[in-house]
Amino acid sequence: MRHLMSPLDFTTEELEKLFCLANDIENNKEKYAHACDGKILATCFYEPSTRTRLSFESAMIRLGGQVIGFSDAGSSSAAKGESVSDTIRVISGYADICAMRHPKEGAPMVAMEKSLIPVINAGDGGHQHPTQTLTDLLTIRSLKGSLSGFTIGLCGDLKFGRTVHSLIDALVRYDNINFIFISPDELKIPDYIIEMLKNKNIPYKEVSSLDEVMPQLDLLYMTRVQKERFFNEEDYIRLKNYYILDTEKMQLAKPDMLVLHPLPRVNEISVEVDNDPRAAYFKQAEYGVYVRMALILTLLELA
Amino acid sequence: MLNVGQIEEGFVLDHIKAGKSLSIYEHLQLDKLDCTVAIIKNARSGKMGKKDILKVECDINQLDLDVLAFIDHNITVNVIKDCEIVEKKVLVLPKTIKNVIRCKNPRCITSIEQELPHIFVLADEQKEVYRCKYCEEKNTERF
């Protein structure tokens, strides 16, 4: 039985199979409409997350399966003090597969160790969010045609943004990728990632001006500066408006550059950019459902 | 020169960093063994200047070599039988250690989950980095 805890749990060959399946689902939705008939997905969300939870639920329902679950710890037995280990043992008898989000890092791994059904990490604190990384990879592969040979700019909060860290970890397994990190000094990419890139001889550059590097990019991955990561309100207010992608900046970009964003956005991408054909972030959210459908089928061994 | 008698059967932990013998005594839980233990502090050493030595008269199998290797894999472990050194054990960093150190990350599941062991995994052998199995936080605790 397999689980998904980290984006690196799957080899690049296994990911290739998963992405081919996701693309087939995208193009042949009817074919998969009953693939999970009679199966139940449990969404155990110990903290609120509309987007991730709904995309899991949508994925299972589109596969013909059904969904049970809770969407915050207050409405679950956790409020009564039940451990994650006990909860998953019980859920194992209720459902065929479980997607778990938990504010404590490593909680889905504890669940995995006791579970009788596949467990998917749907985000554990600031640690991992593997299905977001799979979504990002599928989007790049589908819209760019390949997961190698491009320059990607990662912009915004590169210090606390776990989606950025996981995406880099996943991309370094592919060839000829050039990283450009665009951030203010306070939100620079952590040293251990720079060290890893140096050790692997992967080209990278750290800059603070988005305009300056815009013409070089094949992909621009924007991130939100998250208020909850700051202890100091002043720092947050100062940094949240540091980079705003608008139509003026988009004019500097290549005609086929793509803009990605894990969403939700606050104000880091102007709404006017949404109409630009290079804005791919809503399509990216849609790919999130296809990749989760493919993942559910794979983990249930129905693919 | 202080003279501590030979032991007939047991082990001698040599080349312990000066001042660390009591911490090792505690982590090996030698206080729980009903046997003779000699703790020698600040002994003269050609190699280290000063060193500590622990002499323990008990079966070698009662010693947790993994814990010892995690604390300091440069310690020499001499196994004694009939007052002679019959073996020198080489300590290697254990791949995992359980309930020796605790994860200090307040966001880690180990901080709230009932009776969950604190397991650390060797992430970088050269730099001797251990990370929490669950949250992957680096261990910073030093003995």
Query: Which tens digit of pLDDT belongs to each residue from A263-282?
Result: 999 889 999 999 999 999 99
E runs forming strands in chain A = 40-45, 66-70, 97-102, 119-124, 150-155, 177-182, 204-207, 219-222, 258-260
Q: Both B81 and B104 in a single domain? A: no
- Chain B residues with CB inside 8 Å of A109's CB? 109, 133-134
- The domain of B128 spans 96-132
**Residues near A60 by Cβ (< 8 Å), separated by ≥ 6?**
A36, A39, A41, A66, A67, A296
CB A167 within 8 A of CB A221: yes
CATH class of the structural domain A131-285: alpha beta
Region of poorest pLDDT, from A38-42, A173-177, A219-223, B77-81 = B77-81
Residue B5 within any structural domain of the chain: no
A114 close contact with B: CB closer than 8 A: no
CB B68 within 8 A of CB B28: yes
Residue B62 within any structural domain of the chain: yes
Q: What is the mean pLDDT of residues A214-237?
A: 84
* Interface test mutation site (partner B, options A84, A105, A191, max chain B beta carbons within 10 A): A105
Cβ–Cβ below 8 Å for A106 and B112: no
Query: Residue A105: which of B108, B114, B116 has the nearest Cβ?
Result: B108
Residue B110 within any structural domain of the chain: yes
Q: Both B85 and B101 in a single domain? A: no
- Chain A residues with CB inside 8 Å of B105's CB? 105
Cβ–Cβ below 8 Å for A83 and B113: yes
A113 close contact with B: CB closer than 8 A: no
What is the interface pTM, i.e. ipTM, of the complex?
A: 0.87
Q: Both B64 and B101 in a single domain? A: no
A-B C-beta contacts closer than 8 Å: 49
Question: Regarding beta strands A258-260 and A219-222, do their DSSP bridges make them parallel or antiparallel, or are they unpaired?
Answer: parallel
Residue B105: closest C-alpha in chain A: A105
Residue A178 reports pLDDT greater than 60:
yes
What is the pLDDT at residue A99? 98
Residue B134: closest C-alpha in chain A: A106
Cβ–Cβ below 8 Å for A127 and B109: no
What is the pLDDT at residue B2? 61
Cβ–Cβ below 8 Å for B113 and A110: yes
Rounded Cα distance, B92 and B106, in Å: 30
- Chain A residues with CB inside 8 Å of B127's CB? none
Distances (CA, A) of A31 to A24, A64, A67, A152: 9, 11, 20, 35
Q: Both B20 and B81 in a single domain? A: yes
With cut-offs at 50, 70 and 90, classify the pLDDT of residue A186: confident
Among candidate residues A145, A165, A242, A141, the one with its CA nearest the CA of residue A6: A165
Q: Both B58 and B32 in a single domain? A: yes
Q: Both B101 and B46 in a single domain? A: no
Rounded Cα distance, A150 and A137, in Å: 13
Number of domains, chain B: 2
Which helix (H) or strand (E) segment holds residue A170: the answer is helix A162-171
What is the pLDDT at residue A67? 98
Residue B46 within any structural domain of the chain: yes
Query: Residue B112: which of A104, A109, A127 has the nearest Cβ?
Result: A104
Cβ–Cβ below 8 Å for A104 and B109: yes
Residue B54 within any structural domain of the chain: yes
Residue B65 within any structural domain of the chain: yes
What is the pLDDT at residue A230? 67
With cut-offs at 50, 70 and 90, classify the pLDDT of residue A132: very high
Region of poorest pLDDT, from A119-123, A218-222, B59-63, B121-125 = B59-63
Q: Give the CATH number of domain A7-128+288-299.
A: 3.40.50.1370
Residue A80 reports pLDDT greater than 80:
no
What is the pLDDT at residue A231? 65
Interval B16-70: pLDDT, tens:
999 999 989 988 889 888 888 999 999 998 888 999 999 999 887 888 888 899 9
Higher pLDDT, A237 or A85: A85
- Chain B residues with CB inside 8 Å of A106's CB? 108-110, 132-136
How do the domains of chain A map onto residue ranges?
Answer: 7-128+288-299, 131-285
Q: Both B58 and B109 in a single domain? A: no
Q: Nearest CA of chain A to the CA of B92: how many Å?
A: 25
Task: Give φ, ψ of B80 to 5 degrees.
Answer: -110, 135
What is the pLDDT at residue A229? 65
Q: Nearest CA of chain B to the CA of A126: how many Å?
A: 9
Residue A238 reports pLDDT greater than 90:
no
* Interface test mutation site (partner A, options B98, B109, B131, B136, max chain A beta carbons within 10 A): B109
Residue A5: closest C-alpha in chain B: B134
A106 close contact with B: CB closer than 8 A: yes
Q: Which residue has the tokens 């472990």?
A: B77
Rounded Cα distance, A298 and A120, in Å: 12
Interval B77-135: pLDDT, tens:
999 998 889 999 889 999 999 998 999 999 999 999 989 999 999 998 888 899 999 99
Strand A219-222's sheet: what is its strand order?
A204-207, A177-182, A150-155, A219-222, A258-260
Q: What is the mean pLDDT of residues A144-150?
A: 97
Amino acid at A82: E
Residue B140 within any structural domain of the chain: no
- Chain B residues with CB inside 8 Å of A104's CB? 107-109, 111-113
What is the pLDDT at residue B143? 65
Q: What is the mean pLDDT of residues A281-296?
A: 98
Query: Residue B135: which of A84, A85, A106 has the nearest Cβ?
Result: A106
- State chain A's mean pLDDT as an integer: 94
Q: Nearest CA of chain A to the CA of B43: how many Å?
A: 40
Q: Both B68 and B112 in a single domain? A: no
Chain B residues whose C-beta is within 8 A of a chain A C-beta are: 105, 107-114, 116, 132-137
Rounded Cα distance, A98 and A43, in Å: 6
Report residue A279 as tokens.
Answer: 């804005």
Residue A113 reports pLDDT greater than 80:
yes
What is the pLDDT at residue A118? 98
Residue B1 within any structural domain of the chain: no
Residue B3 reports pLDDT greater than 70:
no
Q: Which residues of A282-300 are buried (b: 16+ CB within 10 A; e: fewer)?
A: eebbebbbbbbbbbbbbbb
Q: What CATH number corresponds to the domain at position B48?
A: 3.30.70.140
Distances (CA, A) of A165 to A70, A121, A154, B92: 28, 16, 10, 32
Q: Both B106 and B74 in a single domain? A: no
Residue A124: closest C-alpha in chain B: B135
Rounded Cα distance, A94 and A66, in Å: 12
Q: How many CB atoms within 10 Å of residue B121?
A: 16
Cβ–Cβ below 8 Å for B109 and A107: yes
Q: Both B100 and B70 in a single domain? A: no
